[in-house]
Amino acid sequence: MSSANNQLIQHVVEAVETIKDRDLVVELCAMELEQKKAKAVLADYGDNLNQKLNDAVCSFIDTKPDRASIFRLIKALETIKTIRLTVAFYPAHTAISQWHAMCQEMVHAPVSLMIIKDKTIAGGANIEMDGRLFRYSLGDEMEKL
Amino acid sequence: MDLILFFCFINFLFLIFLYVRFFRFSKTILTREDALLVQMKKQLERLDRTAVKQEDMLEQGLAQSRKHLLTTFNDQLETDVKLIGKHLDERIQEYTTSIFSRTDDVLSKAVSKSEAEIIEAKKNTMADMEKRVQELIVRAAKISIARGLSLSVHEEMVKRAIEEVRHELSE
């Protein structure tokens, strides 16, 4: 039971794409600990949540996790690396999923994206990771000019 | 008896003599008193005239003295006023000259300083304005570009950015 939960926890962690996703899962975990209806709350999010995460969280909740499992999930979520993407627009879910997949492939570990909108970026993105800032935006290129 | 009568007669004669002498003496005294009274009256009149005359003379003298005093006082006053006016003019002239010279110095320094400060401030303001305008132009250009590009292009550019980072990290 415990190993099955570990696998489910891993699925949830991998499905978390953004900071918002992570915060939502932590909130759901807190509700489970208080024995409230976390699944009903999850259903309310509907299309605002990516399908993969929805499925992973539903699977985890369906196993009626004990407190230890929930705490393990929360701890695993806290250890996820965060990558800050500063872009000029609010991206679609599909784009976020693609970027998340690329970022995970890049760091070889689960990551969550923090997406910040700033129109002065103009195009491209400024990517902040592990205290390093990578500037690949049109805005910065224009500043150089 | 005869002797007694004789003595009485002698005494009577003596008394008559004494009476006559007294009468004559009193008459002389009265005459002299009248003369003295007349003389005294005359002297009093003369004294009165002299007093009136001296009073007139004194009044005239006093009037002349007063007039002289007034004239002298007026002259002195006029002289003093002229002197004070002259001194006052000189002091005012000196003071005014001093103030004007000092004011001129201060003003000239202030003007020269102000001109330099104005030029400097103008330069700084112009440079600041130029910088702000440039920043504004760049910001406007960035926002225009951000709005002009389609969502797919934006997404593609972000993908390229992530690839660039991956490439940079792998090196």
Share of chain A above pLDDT 90, in %: 16
Domain count, chain B: 1
Domain of residue B141: give its range: 2-170
Contacts of B149 in chain A (CB under 8 A): 88, 123
pLDDT of residue A46: 67
| Count of residues in chain B | 171
The Cβ of residue B43 has, within 10 Å, a number of other Cβ atoms equal to 10
CB A61 within 8 A of CB A25: no
Q: Which of B137, B158, B171 to mutate to test the interface with A (most CBs of A within 10 A)?
A: B158
What value does the mean pLDDT take over residues A18-24? Answer: 89
Whether the predicted pLDDT of A110 surpasses 60? yes
Share of chain A above pLDDT 70, in %: 95
Q: Give first-to-last CA distance, chain A, whole Å.
A: 60
Query: Among A1-10, A29-38, A83-92, A96-105, which stretch is predicted with the lowest mean pLDDT?
Result: A1-10
Chain A / chain B CB contacts < 8 angstroms? 82
Among the residues of A2-137, which ranges form H helices? 2-15, 19-33, 38-45, 51-62, 67-78, 93-107
Q: pLDDT class for A4, splitting at 50, 70, 90?
A: low
What's the gap between Cα B21 and its chain centre? 89
Q: Which of B134, B138, B142, B166 to mutate to test the interface with A (most CBs of A within 10 A)?
A: B142
Angle at A19 between CA A18 and CA A24, to 5 degrees: 100
pLDDT of residue A1: 46
A101 touches chain B (CB under 8 A): no
Whether the predicted pLDDT of A10 surpasses 60? yes
Task: Please tell me the distance in Å from B147's CA to the nearest CA on chain A.
Answer: 8
**Is A122 in Cβ contact with B142 (below 8 Å)?**
yes
Selecting from A87, A98, A136 the residue whose C-beta is nearest the C-beta of B154 gives A87
Selecting from A91, A134, A142 the residue whose C-beta is nearest the C-beta of B165 gives A134
pLDDT of residue A47: 67
List, in order, residues 6 or more apart from A23 with CB less than 8 Å away: none
Which parts of chain B sit beneath pLDDT 50? none
Whether the predicted pLDDT of A91 surpasses 70? yes
A138 touches chain B (CB under 8 A): yes
**Is A138 in Cβ contact with B145 (below 8 Å)?**
yes
Query: Among A21-30, A44-53, A80-89, B84-93, which stretch is predicted with the lowest mean pLDDT?
Result: A44-53
Structure-token match 């005014």, residue found = B96
pLDDT of residue A122: 85
Angle at A70 between CA A66 and CA A72, to 5 degrees: 115
CB A131 within 8 A of CB B157: no
Contacts of B162 in chain A (CB under 8 A): 99, 102-103, 106, 125, 127
Task: Please tell me the distance in Å from A50's CA to the nearest CA on chain B.
Answer: 18
What value does the mean pLDDT take over residues A2-29? Answer: 83
Whether the predicted pLDDT of A114 surpasses 90? yes
User: Does A48 or A9 have the greater pLDDT score?
Assistant: A9
This prediction's pTM? 0.56
